[in-house]
Amino acid sequence: MMTPEDGFDARLSAAFDRADAEITPDESFTRHVETRLGLALNPRTMVLGGAGASGSALAASQMERLADGLQFDNALLTQFFDLVGTQSIVAVVFALVAATFIYVLPSRRV
């Protein structure tokens, strides 16, 4: 078990001080990273967003046809689909997919 008298904290602090002394700041690297972080719309984001939106729109257009022919044994599901309607359900699913893209795309790595 470590105790305050074993000198571990002093050795650890000295090791960090030596490592900090060896670091030389590079302004060009810092500028490069800062400019890349500032780019909100780059080609990758635009292509992924466009492909995702196109795929979601295609899937949503097919879901309405699929949902129209559903027959449920459960009365609760039947009442839910009759009350809400397939167009509303498709719109909600499409909105969830779009919200997922909005959340995922900005969290890209530099």
- pLDDT tens, 18-39? 888 888 888 888 888 888 776 6
Whether the predicted pLDDT of 10 surpasses 60:
yes
- pLDDT tens, 61-81? 776 676 666 676 777 877 777
Query: CB of 93 within 8 A of CB of 75?
Result: no
From 94, 24, 5, 22, select the one nearest 54 (Cα to Cα): 94
Tally of domains within the chain? 1
Angle between helical axes of 43-68 and 86-104 (0-180°, round to 10): 160
pLDDT at 31 (0 to 100): 86
Domain that holds residue 13: 4-107
Whether the predicted pLDDT of 98 surpasses 80:
no
Mean pLDDT of the residues in the chain: 76
